[in-house]
Amino acid sequence: MPMSMEEISDRLEIQDLMVRYSYAIDSRNWDALDDVFTPDAHIDYSVFGGSVGNLAETKAFLTEAMPMFTTLQHMVSGTTIAFDGDTATAKTQCHNPMTMGDAEKPDLMVCGLWYVDKLVRTPDGWRIKERVEEKVYMKVFSGS
């Protein structure tokens, strides 16, 4: 069944939302997350030992936890989206290498995960109302 122009537009906007999330995290621009999540969003990073909470609590967690990583790169792809009016559910693949420790020989942690999201259309565009990470794999490689 062909997609309507509105659905094509919605899909592109949600894809852009996933990329903006990645860029916000990788550049450590926590305030940019205000344009990704709803103010009352529920965010669950617990599968990798992270926080569970609202947007403000998540930004506080990221501020505290992320300095241990010297570099980050969230690569997202393969988003499936199911629409129900002004709400949607999505599942997105993420491959996330991060370095930590010695700059000359850093340790490398590689995580594979799914973002499982509930989204809502707002006056400012699509936003994530709920995000839960599902773990696929995690491996640490020593740089020494």
pLDDT in tens, 73-91: 999 999 999 999 999 999 9
- Domains recognised in the chain with CATH numbers: 5-141 (3.10.450.50)
The mean per-residue pLDDT over the stretch 111-121 comes to 98
The mean per-residue pLDDT over the stretch 104-112 comes to 94
Model pTM?
Answer: 0.94
Q: Is the dihedral of CA 105, 72, 61, 51 positive or negative?
A: negative
39: pLDDT strictly greater than 80 = yes
